[in-house]
Amino acid sequence: MKNLLHKFLKNKSAVTWTIVGSILFLGLLLRTLNLNNNMIFAYDQARDAQRVYAMIHSHNLKIVGPETDIPGVFNGPLLYYFLLPLDFISNFNPNVVALGFILVNLTGVFFLYSLGTTLFKNKYIGYIAAFLWTISYAQANFARFISNASPMSIASLIYFWGFAKYYFDNKKWGLIAAAIGYAIAVQMNFYLVYLIIFFPLFEVMYQTKKRAYRWYTYAVATGAVLLSSFLIAELKFKFSATQAMLAYFERQTTASTVMENVERYIARIADAWHYSFFSFNLFIGVLIGIGIISTAIALHKSKKPIVFLLIWCFSTLPLFGFHSGVLNGTVINSSIFPAFTLMYAAGIYAIWQQRNYRIIAVGILVVFFISNLQLMAKERFASTKLFALQPLTYKVEKDLVDYTYQASNKKPFSICAVSNPLFINTLWSQLYMTYGKQQYRYTPTWAGQKQFLNVSYLPYDINHEKIRYLILEPMGGIPEFAKKVTIYVEDKHSKLIEEKQFGDLIVQKRQLLEPGEEPKSSQTLTPYEIGDVIRVSTGEPRYSCYVNY
C-alpha cells in the first residue's frame, strides 16, 4: 500500500489530475444539488425557447440573437444554436438545458488552473484559483442561469487565457484561442465588444521578439468568421444596429456625474467580491479583498503577470462612463470574475509562502468556502437569487400549470395573465405548449390580448370557455394598478371560484357569468380607487381578458 502511494505521489501528472478532478467534482456537486426544476424560467428564457422551437419546427434559422437594452441592437445568435440541440434532445426540458450551462461553467476549472501555471509557473496558484471558482456562489448562479449571460465569464476567460498562452508561454495558437474567446463573448453579449482594446494594449506591453504575423492573420480570420452574423444582419436590416449605436452614443451627453459613476463601479466590484469570496460583511469583505490583492502585488517577484491581471481586473471601468442597464447588475462583472479569482489565488499563495502565516492562508480558504456555502444553503442550493429580477422558477410554474389542468378535470379552459412584460403571453404560451401539452395532450386557449411581439402557440379563446384562469405574476416591473384594473374588468365577465398561490405566482380559477347573472367584485376598492381603475381601463382596453377576436 505504501509503495502504491509512493508511486502515485511520484507521478505528478496523476496527482494533478486527481486534484483537478476532485475540484471539478465538488463544483458539479454544488451546482447540481437541488437542481431539479429550480432554475429561473421567466420571459427571457421562454422567449429564447420559443425562438429555438421555431428553428426546430419551422426551420426558421436566426441571424440575430436576444435583444440588448439598446433598442435596435441585438446580441449574436450563438445562444440559440447552443440551446437548439439541448432543447431538441430534452423536448424543451429546462433541467437538461441548465445542466448544459453548468458543464460549460465548470470548464473554468481547467482554464484557471492553466492560467495559474502559465502566468506564475506555479500549479498551486492554479489549484487555488480552480477551487475558488468551484465554490463561488456567483458562479453557481451563472452556471444554472439559462441565458446569454451564463457563458460570458467563460468566454472572456478563454479570451485572456489565449493572450496569456501567447505572451507568457509563446504559444502562437494562443492568438486563435483569444479570437475564439472574443467572438463567443461578443456573440453572447454585444457589450463585450469593448474587450478588443486589450489586444493592442498587450501588444505594446508584452512585445515578442519576433511577431507571428501569420498567426495574427489566422486569428483575425477566425474572429471574422465567428462574428460574421453581425455583418450579415447589418446588411439584411440596412445597418439598423449601427444607427441605433450612433443614437445611443449621442444620448450619452446627459451622463451622470463622475462621482455617481465611480460609486456605481465600486458597488459592482464590491458585489463581485461579496458573492464569490466573503459574504458575511460587505465592508470587511472589501478590506480583506484589498489586503489579499495588495499581498499578491507586494510579494510576487515577477510583476508581469500581476500587471496582466490588474489590467484585466479593472477592465470594466471605462464602461461606467456610459448609461446602460447592464451596469446595474451582476452581469457587468462576468468578464472580470476570473481575473479577481486569480488575483485572490496569487495573494493567498503568497501568504502561504510565509511559513509563519500558513495557517492564515488555510483559514482564508476555509472562511471563503463557508461564506459561499452558507449563501447556497440559504437558498437550499437553488442558486437563483442574483438573477431573480422576476422570481419565477420552473418548479412553481409547473405546479401552477398542473393545477389548471387538474382543477378543470382535464376539460377545455382558457387562461389570461397579468404578465411581465404586460400584455405578452410568451412565458405561458411556451409553458403550456411544451410541458402542458406533453403531460395532458392539449393546450388551453388564450383569453387575453392579441399577440404581436412574439408568436403565440395558444389558440385564441374565440368561443369563450366557461372555465378561465387568471394568472397574476409578481408585481416587480409591473405597474401597481395593473392587477387591480385587470381583476376589476374581469369581475364584469366572470366570478371568482378559488384563488391559489404558487411561490410568487397567484392564479384565480374563474367561471364566466351566465346571461343575466349579477357581477360581483372580488376586490375591496375605495370609491377613489374605483374611479381610477375605470379611467385606466377606459384608456387601455388591453386589460380585459374577455376579448372578441
**What cell numbers appear for 257 in the block?**
456625474
So where are the chain's domains? 16-387, 394-543
Query: How far apart are the C-alpha atoms of 60 and 74, rounded to whole Å?
Result: 17
Which pLDDT belongs to residue 247?
87
Return the amino acid letter for 531.
G
324: nearest Cα among 450, 193, 493:
193
Amino acid 256: pLDDT: 64
Of 388, 394, 395, 423, nearest to 547 (Cα)? 423
Distance of CA 298 to the CA centre of its chain: 35
The C-alpha cell 349579477 sits at 518
In tens, the pLDDT along 156-211 reads 999 999 999 999 999 999 999 999 999 999 999 999 999 999 999 998 888 766 77
The count of other CB atoms within 10 Å of the CB of residue 165 is 20
φ/ψ bin of 256: left (φ > 0), alpha (ψ from -120 to 50), beta (otherwise): beta
Phi-psi group of 514: left, alpha or beta (phi > 0 → left; psi -120 to 50 → alpha; rest → beta): beta
Alpha-carbon separation of residue 65 from 42, 144, 455 (angstroms): 17, 20, 16
Q: How far is CA 531 from the centre of its chain?
A: 41
CA-CA-CA-CA torsion sign (152, 155, 158, 159) = negative
CA distance 240 to 63: 14
Half-sphere exposure at residue 16, Cβ-oriented, CA atoms within 13 angstroms: 13
Whether 169 and 308 have beta carbons less than 8 Å apart is answered as: no
Give residue 9's pLDDT.
Answer: 56
Identify which of 193, 104, 192 has the alpha carbon closest to the alpha carbon of residue 146.
Answer: 104
Contact residues for 220 (Cβ-Cβ < 8 A; gap 6+): 179
Dihedral sign for Cα atoms in the order 23, 24, 25, 30: positive
Q: Rounded CA gap, 450 and 444, in Å?
A: 15
DSSP 33: T
pLDDT of residue 268: 92
Q: From first to last of the 549 residues of the chain, give the pLDDT tens digit.
A: 566 555 555 667 888 899 999 999 999 999 999 999 999 999 999 999 999 999 999 888 999 999 998 889 999 999 999 999 999 999 999 999 999 999 999 999 999 999 999 999 999 999 999 999 999 999 999 999 999 999 999 999 999 999 999 999 999 999 999 999 999 999 999 999 999 999 999 988 887 667 778 999 999 999 999 999 999 999 999 999 999 888 888 777 655 677 888 888 999 999 999 999 999 999 999 999 999 999 999 998 889 999 999 999 999 988 888 877 788 888 999 999 999 999 999 999 999 999 889 999 999 999 999 999 999 999 999 888 888 777 799 999 999 999 999 999 989 999 999 999 999 999 999 999 999 999 999 999 999 999 998 989 999 999 999 999 999 999 887 888 999 999 999 999 999 999 999 999 999 999 999 988 999 999 999 899 899 999 999 999 999 998 888
DSSP states along 73-125: -B--THHHHHHHHHHHHHTS-HHHHHHHHHHHHHTHHHHHHHHHHHHHS-HHH
d(CA 51, CA 430): 10
Count how many Cα atoms sit within 13 Å of the Cα of residue 189 in the half-sphere of its side chain. Answer: 24
Question: Which residue has cell 465538488?
Answer: 26
468 contacts 510 by C-beta, under 8 angstroms: yes
- The per-residue pLDDT for range 261-306, each reduced to its tens digit, is 888 899 999 999 999 999 999 999 999 999 999 999 999 888 999 9
Which residues on adjacent β-strands are paired with residue 494?
512
pLDDT of residue 322: 81
Contacts of 275 (CB under 8 A, 6+ apart): 136, 137, 138, 141, 330, 375, 386
